[in-house]
Amino acid sequence: MVSQPQSATALTISSQPRDGAVVLRAHGELDMGSAPVLRERLRQATERPAAPALVVDLVEVSFCDSVGMSELVLALHRSEAEGLRLALSGVHGSLERLLWATGLHNVFDIHPTCDDALRAVTAPGRLKRRP
């Protein structure tokens, strides 16, 4: 399932069940114009979880601003409220800089690859709690 961009800024999100988790793969720019696409897909994934874990793969995201970061923080809060494990994978570039500049790199469960994130979120007792 793929969401079509709803703004001039191109962002697509695909979703697929994999290894006991749902993987959302983002592709494009995550900014004020495209954040509603991510917001809706993350809301769906956290409100009606198809699996006890969610991986947001961001390796194909070429840009992320503070609005995009806010959507990820909101998803983290929702997932914790639902008892859903959430991990990010493929974080790089502007998103990585934002995570470090804000200290949020210590809050999210971040992994270099989607496979690494899947192993972490599906391992028993591996839920990372916020400090």
Distances (CA, A) of 94 to 29, 64, 101, 111: 10, 6, 10, 16
* Residue 48 pLDDT: 79
Cβ(96)–Cβ(63) below 8 Å:
no
Domains recognised in the chain with CATH numbers: 2-117 (3.30.750.24)
Check residue 45 and give its pLDDT.
Answer: 87
pTM: 0.87
Q: What is the pLDDT along the chain (131 residues), one digit of tens a residue?
A: 444 444 445 899 999 999 989 999 999 999 999 999 999 999 888 887 788 999 999 999 999 999 999 999 999 999 999 899 999 999 999 899 999 999 999 999 999 999 999 999 988 865 444 44
- What pLDDT is stored for residue 124 in this prediction? 80
Please report, as a single letter, which amino acid is at residue 97.
Answer: R
